[in-house]
Structure 1
């Protein structure tokens, strides 16, 4: 029996998704140069020709991975209310997204170290420029309402702090105290302690916590 147009559409979307997810995993493990199209499609369980069909080629696949990262960043829900509530919501939302989107965080972290992908990041910034400016302006308005002397600098430093947490969690996995990092960042801005933990399955923190790369290895098996 022939498949319907809807079934064909779902099958195409699924094959695109599994290719993208396999690329994210392999780029995180080996970097862009170390992951071939053959390896990506083998892991995805699809024919090599589907990369060309869905993406056009390897560079376009890399761009799609970068786009997925930006999409995750801008999908963080906004909290309404006073400036402190909105700031706490940004911190909590960003760190929750870090936990949910760990594979793409690792892939992007690996790619950001490679000069060959810098141009693609710049092109992605152009594609998401309107969303980026809106997001930055929203955070700057929060700091303006909080009476900051330099709201643009405060926004940049908050982003720098959160991106540092992203990278450390990607490298150290279960040995990185993500929940405690969240509380530390809140205290940095004079925000109240959270009433509930992040909605993530995190390993219990060792009181004598020490970050080790083995924590990321263990979390994958």
Structure 2
């Protein structure tokens, strides 16, 4: 029996999602240059021609991954309340996202750094410029409420610290102490201690913390 137009639409949407998911996984595992369209579509279980149908080619697929990252970044939920409550919520939200979106974080980090894709990242940053300004000003307003002498620098240093945690977790994986980093940030900003740990999928801490790159090694998905 022939599929309905709605079924065809859902099948197309699902194929696009599978391509994006597979691209993120392979970009994270092998880098952008090391992942071919054939490998991406094979992992996704779809026809190779669907990349051109949905995206137009590999560069446009890379752009879609970057845009998805920006959409996720600016779509992170915010916390209402006092400036301290909003700051604590921002720290928790970003660290949670770091813990649960490792393949995407790794893929986009590589795109930020590699000359072949840095241009694409910079162009996406321009497209999302208005949303970035709103987000920056929101954080700067939060620091103004906290009485910061230089809210602009405070915003930049907060972002730099959180991005540093993201990078370290991407490199060192489960050996990087996300929960301890969260509590350290609470202390640095003189926030009340959190009531409990974040629901992160991390092994219990045993003994001294040692950052080791093997902690980030994952078996490739098949």
Give the TM-score normalised by the residue count of structure 1.
0.96
Q: Between Structure 1 and Structure 2, how many residues are aligned?
A: 221
Taking structure 1 as reference, are residues 139 and 64 closer, same or farther at Cα in structure 2, changes over 3 Å only? Answer: same
SS of 1:3's equivalent? coil
Runs of 4+ with >2 A deviation: 218-221
Does structure 2 retain, via aligned residues, the 8 Å contact 1:69–1:108? Answer: yes
Q: Does 1:104 align with 2:65?
A: no
The residue number in structure 1 matching 2:115 is 115
Unaligned runs of 5+ in 2: none
The residue number in structure 2 matching 1:180 is 180
The residue number in structure 2 matching 1:25 is 25
Deviations 1:8-41 (A, max 9, x none): 1111111001100111111111111111111111
Give the TM-score normalised by the residue count of structure 2.
0.96
| Distance in 1 separating the partners of 2:52 and 2:114 | 24
SS of 1:20's equivalent? helix
SS of 2:217's equivalent? helix
Unaligned runs of 5+ in 1: none
Q: Does 1:200 align with 2:189?
A: no
Does structure 1 retain, via aligned residues, the 8 Å contact 2:27–2:35? Answer: yes
Deviations 1:119-151 (A, max 9, x none): 111111122112111111110000000111111
CA shift, 1:58, in A, is 0.4
RMSD of equivalent CA atoms: 1.3
Q: Does 1:88 align with 2:88?
A: yes
